[in-house]
Amino acid sequence: MQLIEQIETPALLLDRDKLDANIRRMGEKLKAFDVVLRPHVKTNKCLEISERLFAEGRGPITVSTLREADFFLEAGFTDILYGVGIAHNKFAHAATLISKGAQLKLVLDNLETARQLVEFARSSGYRFEVLLEIDCDGHRSGLSPRSPMLIKIAQLLGGTGVELCGIMTHAGKSYDCKSLTEIQACAVQERDAIVRARESLSEAGFDLSIVSIGSTPTALFTEDLRGVTEVRAGVFAFFDLVMAGLGVCREQDIAVSVLTTVIGHQPEKGWIITDSGWMALSRDRGTAKQAVDQGYGVVCDVSGRPLQDLIVSATNQEHGIISSRSGRLEPSQLPPLGTLLRILPNHACATSAQHTGYHVLANNIRKVEYWPRITGW
């Protein structure tokens, strides 16, 4: 047990009570539907947090790198969906995971990679499980739910060492919504796309055991998941300013923050200089396109209460500049040198990735544990 004041700054804080409440909220939401939660552990990359995502045992997870798959398999998570399109130069790594007991699911969206994987399965003797990626909103990867290519790939895989076990999509556009109504429209669009793709494959004689959707905004505001078997989401456990700006959570639900120290003042400019630059906060500016631009993060006192309308307005590598959104701070408003502050992050995944672990707080005040994160590929 340690006081916050004993933590060297900058440091990533995790409020364990908020984390648990956020996890409960998603659990409660999904209870109304006949779906499995396959949380995305890319947000946390941490064993202790990923364990808390499940009421018991080690359920199915989504990973963004094969390094995460290695790490979580080692820790006893076996049902793993690697959510980024596979390419041939990762087949051998995937095979190693399968040889160690992973029920690994790979994702692809094109015939060429499917052919290469079939050939690799044939020559290596490994069996692979595959999900086809569906594009529900044009934001990134995936095939249109009406694309004839879906059937072509399914036909190519039939009878080979590569089993087509499902389809998946991600409503990435939901991050750009301006209202909960828009998020709900994204949720409808996401479900419609995946259900249409399932029907198209079903009519061609391909039955799928996994029909997977997911994004934190759509998962928390969907009203209909008929035809969907599982939901993926990651940032819901932490939340962040982008999610708060969307109306998906409140600022006080954000479970991660960066502890920082005031190291200087520029009184003529109303600036507070801190030891948290982009190395500690990340360069993420996800709120720049929202109604309220939060700079590089919202400034709170050491207990986590936002201070007026202070934001981190600029960053260098290890320096942050804090200023007021509404005007220049008076010299008397500058917190004393050495004051501890907390910065709420724009994007929890990006900010957490700048740190090697979490200083875990209980009752928002005492550090009770340090939970390490993994990094790399």
- Strand ranges in the chain using DSSP code E only, listed in sequence order: 2-3, 11-15, 36-37, 61-63, 79-82, 103-108, 128-134, 162-169, 210-213, 230-231, 256-266, 271-274, 298-301, 306-315, 320-324, 340-344, 357-362, 366-372
In the bound state with its own copies, the residue whose beta carbon lies nearer, of 181 and 375, is 375
In the bound state with its own copies, the residue whose beta carbon lies nearer, of 10 and 145, is 10
Q: How far is the CB of 57 from its own copies (least distance, A)?
A: 27
Q: How far is the CB of 94 from its own copies (least distance, A)?
A: 11
List contacts with its own copies (CB under 8 A).
5, 8-11, 42, 64-66, 84-90, 93, 109-110, 112-113, 116, 135, 138, 140-141, 172, 261-266, 269, 273, 275, 278-280, 282-285, 316-319, 321, 336-338, 340, 349-350, 353-356, 375-377
Give dist(CA 229, CA 36) in Å, integer: 6
In the bound state with its own copies, the residue whose beta carbon lies nearer, of 212 and 229, is 212
Give dist(CA 113, CA 125) in Å, integer: 17
In the bound state with its own copies, the residue whose beta carbon lies nearer, of 64 and 229, is 64
In the bound state with its own copies, the residue whose beta carbon lies nearer, of 18 and 355, is 355
In the bound state with its own copies, the residue whose beta carbon lies nearer, of 317 and 332, is 317
Q: Which long-range contacts (CB under 8 A, 24 or more apart) does 327-331 make?
A: 327/270, 328/269, 328/270, 329/270, 329/271, 329/272, 330/270, 331/265, 331/267
Q: How far is the CB of 179 from its own copies (least distance, A)?
A: 23
What tokens does 166 get? 């499902």
As to burial, measured by CB atoms within 10 angstroms (0-12 exposed, 13-18 middle, 19+ buried), residue 84 is middle
In the bound state with its own copies, the residue whose beta carbon lies nearer, of 364 and 375, is 375
Q: How far is the CB of 10 from its own copies (least distance, A)?
A: 6
Whether residue 342 contacts residue 13, with contact meaning beta carbons closer than 8 Å, is answered with yes
In the bound state with its own copies, the residue whose beta carbon lies nearer, of 66 and 228, is 66
Q: How far is the CB of 362 from its own copies (least distance, A)?
A: 22
The torsion angles phi and psi of 84, rounded to 5 degrees, stand at -110, 135
Alpha helices (H) along the chain: 16-31, 47-52, 66-74, 91-99, 111-124, 149-157, 180-203, 216-221, 241-246, 278-281, 348-352
For residues 227, 231, 232 and 235, what is the CA-based torsion angle, rounded to 10 degrees?
140
Q: How far is the CB of 153 from its own copies (least distance, A)?
A: 13
The SS3 call for residue 323 is strand
Q: How far is the CB of 79 from its own copies (least distance, A)?
A: 20
Whether residue 189 contacts residue 134, with contact meaning beta carbons closer than 8 Å, is answered with no
Give dist(CA 204, CA 207) in Å, integer: 9
Q: How far is the CB of 17 from its own copies (least distance, A)?
A: 25
In the bound state with its own copies, the residue whose beta carbon lies nearer, of 4 and 35, is 4
Interior/surface letters 7-33, b for 16+ CB within 10 angstroms, e for the rest = bebbbbbbbbebbeebbebbeebbeee
Q: How far is the CB of 280 from its own copies (least distance, A)?
A: 8
